[in-house]
Structure 1
Amino acid sequence: MTTPAPYEFEIREGDDGATHPVEQLWTPCAGDAVASGFIAHRDLFVIGIDDATDDHLYPVGFIVLGHQPWADITEAATAYMSQIHGWRTLRLYPGDDPSVFIPRIPRAVLTHGVFLRHPHSDHGCGCEWGETWRMVWAPATAPGAIPVTAMRHPAAPATAGDLPNPDEGAPATWAV
């Protein structure tokens, strides 16, 4: 008996008749992570993520490679916003009303993800994923899964980013 995979590869047929995956698994390392949009902050690699259901001007969440303490991911997320968007604080989006109460910075979760990277520009499909990567949440036992720490941006809606919630049985635990 086999269990369903948490993700599927799209396959295409090449000119020679051989089939090839349209995407490949990608395990980020220092050079690849920075080249793919992560920033390095105190030996952590962090990136902002958008919500899959909408296109936002600013990230709704953050991913840090590896399992990290909550305080470290908050600091890394703040550094990301400072370096990428010129913010000096993580609390509000630009233009937000500072009198609106944001109760606290959301907790971070320790989970796993599979990074899928589309082949380079010499790949002939010409689709919208050209030279990009995306991440799919996955159990720790999934092929190619790497540990990540994720945190929703405090000004984003609670459902933004579709982050795993350990309280709802997701394959994740709360960072401390």
Structure 2
Amino acid sequence: MTAPALYKIEINEGDDGTAHPAEQVWASCADGAADHGLIAHQGLFVAGIDSGADDDLCPVGFVVLGHLRWADVIEAAAAYMARFHGWRNLYLYPGDDPAVLIPRVPRAVLTHDVFLRHPHPDHGCGCEWDETWRMGWAPATEHGPVPVTAMRHPAAAVTAAGIPDPDEGAPATWAV
């Protein structure tokens, strides 16, 4: 799931009065990326993101760790779709009618993101978010952001992925 705006780490208080985080911030490294839903494609780590709706069968956007060229993100997103959905064509969702016109390929943006795991592994709370990951777009100056290049899936609605839009003042710039 993608958080729509800046993130805030929630704090819980234990029975003994000790405060502890309800979530942990994940920082990327090459060794652990695949363990967290990212696939490696020619040295890039890419993940599909959903809109949070229960009926999402395919990703509405993609994030690639690091600040990369637009063409590299297109290639990595296509590799993600091929690996997880067996679909070589990035421009349609599996089962879509190829005669239906879709928007042009969206541009990629260079932005920052935090990956939050709920709950903190040492402090389970039993809520609906247990053992899940969330993403929150963040300015580079916040604590724990990871540089990413993000792109909406071409067949997804423009607003589906909630990816920052550099033209709207979000913390992002266009990838080239």
TM-score of the two chains, using structure 2 as the length reference: 0.90
TM superposition shift of 1:127: 1.8
Instruction: Return the alpha-carbon distance in structure 2 between the equivalents of residues 59 and 132 of structure 1.
Output: 17
Contact 1:121 1:130 in 2 (8 A): no
Q: CA RMSD in A?
A: 1.8
SS of residue matched to 1:116: strand
- Cα separation, 2, equivalents of 1:30 and 1:119: 23
Output the TM-score relative to the length of structure 1: 0.90
Which runs of 5 or more structure 2 residues have no equivalent in the other structure? none
CA deviation digits over 1:84-139, x for unaligned, max 9? 11111101112211111224211100001111122466633112222222110011
Determine what percentage of the aligned residue pairs are the same residue.
Answer: 70
Task: Report whether the alignment pairs 1:69 with 2:69.
Answer: yes
Aligned to 1:147: 147
Summarize the alignment of residues 69-148 of structure 1 with structure 2, pairs less than 5 Å apart: 69-119=69-119, 123-148=123-148
Return 5+ residue gaps in structure 1 as ranges.
none
**2:168 corresponding residue in structure 1:** 168
CA gap of 1:32–1:119, structure 2 versus 1, over 3 A, is farther
* DSSP-derived class of the 2:31 partner: helix
In 2, Cα distance between equivalents of 1:122 and 1:169:
37
SS at match of 1:93: coil
- Contact 1:6 1:142 survives alignment (8 Å): no
Contact 2:124–2:130 (8 Å) recurs in 1: no
> Does residue 13 of structure 2 align to residue 36 of structure 1?
no
- Could you tell me how far apart the structure 1 residues matched to 2:116 and 2:124 are? 18
